[in-house]
Amino acid sequence: MKLNKLIITFVLVTSCTGLFASSTKYYPSTIYIIRHACKLEISKHGPSLTPKGLGLSFNFPQYYVNSILPDLNNGESKNKISDYKNGLDVIYVTNPSDSGKKNKAKSFREIQTVSPLITLLYAVSNNNKAMKAPLIQDPYADNNYKKLVDNYIFSKENNKANILICWNHKNIPDLTHYIATHNGFSIGITKGFEANKFEWPKDDYTTVVKLQFKKNKCANITVYKQSETYGFTTPTNDAYLNAFKQYLLLYKYNSSIN
């Protein structure tokens, strides 16, 4: 979506006055959108994460436990993941395909970024399905985010669900806007999200976007910038070793599988 089109659309649907009746019967409760972790800053950067990126992938479960889980449970902090009533229901990532573009490299970074969290959640579940957040490697590549939304996000299976999406940063602003204005929904209260200003810097790997859906067909958007996502940072390549160590401690404390 071009920026000028995005601005026009935003102006048309900024209010939640009920004038736009939604045809969507099913809709999620909360969606978090993150970017994949770090890639090499060279022209042929390859499909995988850097050591720094691996550090971020091991740090993200810490951010999930310290920030996302309490947020999904009315701000209450628990001792262990299994003590929480609400958690993620499903995680979506891009398909590592070429998006139909000639000579475009495949990317496994999205899958790698969420893999430590998924491993932790399955270990914590101990056969409790409510604690599992299955990974859905959907059939759509990064440019096909609209199909992800149309076919999955607003499905019966995801009604009132808490969802995590890991995507390519260039498409996240448009993906966010498309979700928030899907089938009659309109953008309500926003923090850090303005359609004509919200851009994702190429060196930003830790911003988190949150969408909350309300019964009055509003989608409230909060953008947590890098400075606000404490703990979801790995400033140097060497720091990923410490991130992995902290992940193992988190895993051991929460899991019966040692």
Question: Mean pLDDT throughout 174-183?
Answer: 92
Angle between helix 239-254 and helix 51-63 axes, rounded to 10 deg? 30
* Rounded-to-integer distance, Cα 95 and Cα 168, Å: 11
Whole-number pLDDT of residue 201: 84
What does the domain layout of the chain look like in residue ranges? 3-254
CA 18 to chain centre: 28
CA–CA gap between residue 33 and residue 227 (Å, rounded): 17
In degrees rounded to 5, what are phi and psi of residue 224? -95, 105
pLDDT at 4: 39
φ and ψ at 45, to 5 degrees?
Answer: -85, -5
At 43 the pLDDT is: 58
Q: In the predicted model, is pLDDT for residue 249 greater than 90?
A: yes
Q: In the CATH hierarchy, which fold is given to the domain comprising 3-254?
A: Rossmann fold (3.40.50)
Q: Give the model's confidence band at 20: pLDDT under 50 very low, under 70 low, under 90 confident, else very high.
A: very low
Q: Specify whether the CB–CB gap between 52 and 232 falls below 8 A.
A: no
Q: How many CA atoms lie within 13 A of 230 on its CB side?
A: 2
Q: For residue range 130-145, what is the model confidence (pLDDT) as tens digits? A: 567 777 766 777 788 8
Q: 160 by DSSP, 3-state: which?
A: coil
Average pLDDT of the chain?
81
Mean pLDDT of 86-101: 78
User: If you compute the radius of gyration of the chain from its CA atoms, what whole number of angstroms results?
Assistant: 18
Taking residues 184-192, report their average pLDDT: 91
Task: Kindly report the number of other CB atoms within 10 A of residue 115's CB atom.
Answer: 18
Q: How far apart are CA 167 and CA 113, in angstroms?
A: 10
CA–CA separation, 222 vs 246, rounded Å?
Answer: 28
Average pLDDT, stretch 28-37?
A: 92
116-175 confidence digits (pLDDT tens): 999 999 888 866 655 677 777 667 777 888 989 999 999 999 999 999 999 988 889 999
Residues 52-64 have pLDDT tens digits of 888 899 999 999 9
